[in-house]
Structure 1
Amino acid sequence: MKDFKMAVCQNKPLNDKKKSVARAIEMINEAAGEGANIVMLPEMFYYPYIIKELIQQEESKRETVSILQETAKANRIYLCTGSTVEKVEHKRFNKSYLISPQGDIILEYSKCHLYDVEFKELKIKESEYFSPGNDIKVADTEFGKVGIIICYDIRFPEMSRVLVNNGAEIILVPAAFNTISGNAHWHLFFRTRAVESQVYMAAASPARDDECKFKAYGHSLIIDPWGDILNEANEKEDIIYAQCSSERLLDVRNRLPLLVHKRSELYAKTK
């Protein structure tokens, strides 16, 4: 891994996709101007997370992603596209991409775990609208190996473990926790995954819109491999930054060598 500056854009999705994308690009440009090497957006950054309305924004030709490719290339940054609704062969996916400074897609990921839950205050069934992904990958960058998972995936430790087993040193998580699950579990899960995986972890949430039916938790995070929070947003629109050190990652992994002590042959016996 090589030292880098991380930026997480916590934009507020609007009921106007074009305006949301334009605002996100403004924030990406600002982050790049501050010297960020890797920039990321939230899950469904371009429209409020109201599924029946959100799926009307689906794309089959990566129109929004193409715009973000141009933005990454213009700024010479690595850009995680948050996530967008994409139609592929009659199936709909929640997709995220990592774009290189040359504007190329170097990692494509579809959300693997769909959020089907029912709280007293909220009912969501993503499986009625989306198909799950079936692949977990990492991408090589000049700053280290990067993996992506999306939102609900964070609750499944196997996801980050697979990424780390494949060499991940940085895990990016576009997410849109609501205020119910966010208040209970947001910091708990992201810090835990960073500690057990010994990686830098960045979580990008939409900013909260109190006038919207969906109340995003906010509180985007950048966390180091020891579980320390390097920077955190509140619930409002913001860009957060942190310097991420290769020396810190190596120090944590050497002092507490979890990845050496793990017994993969034992875990493979369990069902």
Structure 2
Amino acid sequence: MSRAAILQMTSGIDPAANAKVMTDAMAQASGEGAAMLFTPEMSGLLDRDRKRAAAHLTQEAEDPVLAAMRDAAAKHGIWAHIGSLALLREDGKLANRGFVIDDRGEIRARYDKMHLFDVDLPTGESWRESAVYTGGDRAVLVDTPLGRLGLAICYDLRFPDLFRALSNAGATLFALPAAFTRPTGAAHWHVLLRARAIEAASFVIAAAQTGEHEDGRATYGHSLAVDPWGEILLDMGEAPGVGFAEIDQARVTDARARVPVLQHRRPIPEVETL
């Protein structure tokens, strides 16, 4: 059994301030016996003012938040999943990129968010991620102290084929960092996370943004840890902070024995329209 730490935060427009929250959480997680810390989507910068945000955008090698987290991982001897950072690509657009960092500060995995959030909500909110970001084109699986981890980000949650592919490849837990809006969070966050856990008989760790942000947006919070039977092990509500959940891989074995969904999967045939 290993302990996971989840950082729920209200990221703002200053990467240095966000990095301090994240590295302080690394120290706390290590001090309380966690093997790995998970942070939300857009941990390093959350700013929808493109002109203001542009001053802080860098390529991966120059990103100060990534560098700070790598140093903290090595200092405290703990793994980290940075939910995602906004990073410059060579094509002039951005990548919404997550990282897995080991306890020596080495990058073990990178994942670029595949599904981009382009929607108009009934509240009047409008989001066009594809105007700024380029979506990823590969699924990523990485071995960690908690088990074999499949990577996803926020809107990816709504596309179960990704989680089917990851669990077919050996994932026993998923990371699902997010910055869910309050309307979509209230409607769908808990049910979708539990569904992904149940249908793959895998753990889900979902670190979330929460509260009122400096750029004017509001996020839902409720960072969750869900076990392979769909039981919620941790719900952090709306307050920022660090929470903990015990990850026991025996629960994966038990859930898959009780309902062997992975064994029963079949290729989906061509649809016959009558």
Q: Which interval holds the TM-score relative to the shorter structure?
A: over 0.9
Structure 2 distance, partners of 1:153, 1:11, is 20
- In structure 1, give the amino acid aligned to 2:252: L
Offset of residue 211 of structure 1: 6.7
Offset of residue 210 of structure 1: 6.7
Q: Which runs of 4+ in 1 moved over 4 A?
A: 53-56
For the pair 1:44 / 2:42, whether they are aligned, the reply is yes
Q: Deviations over 1:107-163 (max 9, x none)?
A: 100000000000132000000000010010101224321111000000000111111
Report matched runs for 1:73-222 at 5 Å.
Answer: 73-90=74-91, 91-120=93-122, 121-209=124-212, 213-222=216-225
Q: TM-score, normalised by structure 2?
A: 0.92
- In structure 2, give the amino acid aligned to 1:63: P
Structure 1: 5+ residue stretches without partners: none
Q: What secondary structure, in the 3-state scheme, does the structure 2 residue paired with 1:71 have?
A: helix
Q: Deviations over 1:195-226 (max 9, x none)?
A: 00111101111121277511010000000000
Offset of residue 39 of structure 1: 0.8
- In structure 2, give the amino acid aligned to 1:186: W
User: What residue is the counterpart of 1:58 in the other structure?
Assistant: 57
User: What residue is the counterpart of 1:16 in the other structure?
Assistant: 14
Structure 2 distance, partners of 1:167, 1:51, is 40
Structure 2: 5+ residue stretches without partners: none
Tell me the matched-pair count: 267
User: What residue is the counterpart of 2:230 in the other structure?
Assistant: 227
For the Cα contact (< 8 Å) 2:149–2:171, is it kept in 1?
yes
User: What residue is the counterpart of 2:257 in the other structure?
Assistant: 254
Offset of residue 77 of structure 1: 1.6
For the Cα contact (< 8 Å) 2:15–2:44, is it kept in 1?
yes
Structure 1 distance, partners of 2:204, 2:80, is 15
Change (3 A) 1:127 1:161: same
Structure 1 distance, partners of 2:254, 2:125, is 43
For the Cα contact (< 8 Å) 1:145–1:170, is it kept in 2?
yes
Give the fraction of aligned pairs with identical amino acids, expressed as a percent.
Answer: 31
For the Cα contact (< 8 Å) 1:177–1:216, is it kept in 2?
yes
Structure 2 distance, partners of 1:222, 1:54, is 31
Structure 1 distance, partners of 2:49, 2:178, is 14
For the Cα contact (< 8 Å) 1:95–1:111, is it kept in 2?
yes
